[in-house]
């Protein structure tokens, strides 16, 4: 069941299912995207994630058209697009203006720094973000793919400068990619930062559509995403265990993989990227599935992808949620 949950300490709430739109305009045409959006709203999914860079701006254009007349029903997030070699802080305002034009709206709810860059000048970045907030072009600001130390650095500066702090960090998290368990999740709980998790199905590798012992299905992202074959080979044992556990529970592997992410302490919402309405409808079931603690652990052990550390004390310590009690 889809729930509304607090979005960091902003006072706003969002659905715990965030709709990822990266395939809109790519593997998902506009008519299907429109059907997905209608179905999302019908089921209480109001958190929508996009980015200026998706399909060269077409994704935002599609969203602009399909959200016409219902823009105020969604909590809309987009991300800055900064071409390499340009002045990052100086691009924040223009990139957001271009997104707003494509999205046919006067503001987004959340504006994210898509990726950190070398020499990006945090003070200037924060001033540029503050300017767009003050202009009413976005309500909240955040980041994506930031390590814990960097968001702490930005937010320390933001407090001293009296400008809005970063309230969201968007990162990859799934049974294969587990780096954010080191410091980022405990930091999020301590600092009340919303964590949104992209790639919960590892681009489909954890969806059950790929069998490590069979050729790759032609109607899949593996046709264009060459990383998928390698991930499937490297994590074949875990994928087989995931499929077996899903079979035992009488659900799809995608439900189990999404539920595993959703159940982790500190996660606000997984970002569910779909290329078809049927996938959207199917993935809704993951929000009614509860895994036992043993199932969560067995799955993690089957993949063996926790970041390895030699120290038996320091490793668990910096993943601990209990240091603040
Ligand atoms: N901040 C960042 O840097 C960043 C990076 C990447 C993504 N994102 C965001 O995160 C979202 C999700 O990322 P992602 O698309 O890589 O996520 P994902 O959940 O790992 O992969 C989605 C893919 O899995 C397959 N799928 C989805 N639901 C399924 C189901 N119920 N049954 C079977 N297969 C299913 C589809 O593959 P097929 O198309 O092959 O059918 C779909 O394209 C994006 O839309 C975007 O909003 C952010």
List, for residues 129-148, the tens digit of each pLDDT value.
999 999 999 999 999 999 99
CA angle in degrees (0–180, nearest 5) for 93-95-97? 70
pLDDT over threshold 80, residue 41: yes
Which residue's C-alpha comes closest to atom 40 of ligand 1? 220
User: What per-residue confidence (pLDDT) applies to 303?
Assistant: 98
Active site residue 54: yes
Residue 15 has phi, psi (to 5 degrees) of: -70, 150
CA of 51 to the centre of ligand 1 (A): 14
What integer pLDDT is reported at residue 84 of this predicted model?
Answer: 82
Please tell me the distance between residue 123's alpha carbon and the centre of ligand 1 in angstroms.
33
Q: What is the pLDDT of residue 115?
A: 96
Q: In sequence order, which residues have a C-beta less than 8 Å from that of residue 231 and are 6 or more positions away?
A: 176, 202, 203, 205
- Of the candidates 93, 97, 95, the one whose C-alpha atom is nearest the C-alpha of residue 83 is 95
The predicted model gives 220-249 an average pLDDT of 96
Domains and CATH numbers, the chain: 11-317 (3.20.20.100)
For the segment 179-204, what is each residue's pLDDT rounded down to a tens digit? 999 999 999 999 999 999 999 999 99
Q: Locate all alpha helices (DSSP H) within 25-114, ordered by sequence.
A: 30-42, 58-66, 88-103
Q: How many CA atoms lie within 13 A of 9 on its CB side?
A: 9
Instruction: Tell me which residue has its CA closest to atom 29 in ligand 1.
Output: 279
- Nearest 5°: the CA angle 306, 1, 201 is 35
Nearest-CA residue for atom 10 of ligand 1? 198
C-alpha 207 – ligand 1 centre gap (Å): 10
Return d(Cα 215, Cα 130) in angstroms, integer: 50
- Assess whether pLDDT exceeds 80 at residue 325: no
Give the span between the Cα atoms of 28 and 69, in whole angstroms: 22
Pocket of ligand 1 (CB under 6 A): 20-23, 27, 49, 144-145, 170, 198-204, 207, 209, 220-221, 254, 271-275, 279, 282-283
What is the average pLDDT score of the chain? 97
pLDDT of residue 89: 96
The residue whose CA is least distant from atom 27 of ligand 1 is: 274
Cα 194 from Cα 218, distance rounded (Å)? 36
pTM equals 0.97
Which of 14, 201, 276 to probe ligand 1 with, by most ligand atoms within 8 A of CB?
201
For ligand 1, mutation pick of 20, 50, 220 (most atoms within 8 Å of CB): 20
The string of pLDDT tens digits covering residues 65-110 is: 999 999 999 999 999 998 888 899 999 999 999 999 999 999 999 9
Which of 142, 143, 198 is the pocket-test mutation for ligand 1 (most atoms within 8 Å of CB)? Answer: 198
Determine the atom of ligand 1 nearest the C-alpha atom of 279: 31
Give residue-wise pLDDT tens across range 4-20.
Answer: 999 999 999 999 999 99
Token output for 193: 């930062």
Give, using CA atoms, the residue closest to atom 12 of ligand 1: 273
The C-alpha atoms of residue 258 and residue 210 are separated, in whole angstroms, by 16
Cα 219 to ligand 1 centre (Å): 14
**Ligand 1 atom showing the smallest separation from residue 202 Cα:** 20
At residue 75, the 3 state secondary structure works out as strand
- Residues 170, 306, 210, 224: is their CA dihedral positive or negative? positive
CA-286 nearest atom, ligand 1 = 31
Quote the crossing angle between the two packed helices 227-234 and 236-249, to the nearest 10°: 80
- Select which of 54, 88, 173, 210 is catalytic: 54
Report the nearest-CA residue for atom 7 of ligand 1: 198
The stretch 158-164 carries a mean pLDDT of 98
| Strand partners of residue 170 | 144, 196
Do the strands 13-15 and 4-6 form a parallel or antiparallel pair, or are they unpaired? antiparallel
């Amino acid at each position: 069941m889809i729930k509304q949950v607090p979005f960091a300490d902003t006072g706003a709430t969002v659905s715990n299912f965030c709709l990822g739109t990266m395939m809109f305009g790519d593997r998902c045409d506009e008519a299907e995207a429109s059907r997905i959006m209608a179905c999302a709203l019908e089921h209480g999914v109001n958190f929508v994630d996009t980015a200026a860079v998706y399909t060269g701006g077409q994704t935002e254009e599609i969203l602009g058209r399909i959200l016409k007349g219902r823009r105020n029903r969604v909590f809309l997030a987009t991300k800055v697009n900064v071409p390499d070699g340009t002045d990052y802080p100086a691009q924040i305002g223009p990139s957001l203006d271009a997104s707003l034009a494509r999205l046919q709206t006067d503001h987004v709810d959340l504006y994210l720094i898509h990726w950190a860059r070398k020499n990006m000048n945090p003070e200037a970045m924060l001033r540029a973000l503050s300017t767009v907030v003050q202009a009413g072009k976005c309500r909240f600001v955040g980041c994506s793919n930031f390590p814990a130390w960097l968001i702490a650095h930005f937010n320390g500066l933001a407090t001293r400068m009296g400008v809005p702090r970063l309230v969201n960090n968007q990162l990859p998290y799934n049974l294969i990619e587990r780096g954010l368990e080191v410091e980022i999740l405990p930091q999020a709980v301590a600092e009340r930062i919303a964590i949104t998790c992209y790639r919960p199905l590892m681009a489909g590798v954890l969806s059950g559509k790929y069998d490590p012992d069979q050729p790759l299905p032609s109607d899949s992202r593996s046709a264009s995403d060459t990383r998928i074959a390698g991930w499937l080979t490297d994590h074949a044992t875990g994928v087989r265990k995931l499929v077996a556990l899903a079979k035992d529970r009488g659900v799809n592997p995608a439900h189990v993989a999404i539920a595993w992410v959703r159940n982790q302490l500190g996660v606000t919402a997984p970002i569910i990227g779909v290329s078809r309405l049927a996938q959207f409808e199917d993935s809704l079931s993951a929000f009614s599935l509860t895994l036992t603690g043993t199932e969560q652990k067995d799955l993690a052990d089957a993949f063996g992808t926790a970041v390895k550390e030699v120290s038996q004390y320091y490793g668990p310590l910096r993943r601990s949620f209990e240091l603040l009690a």
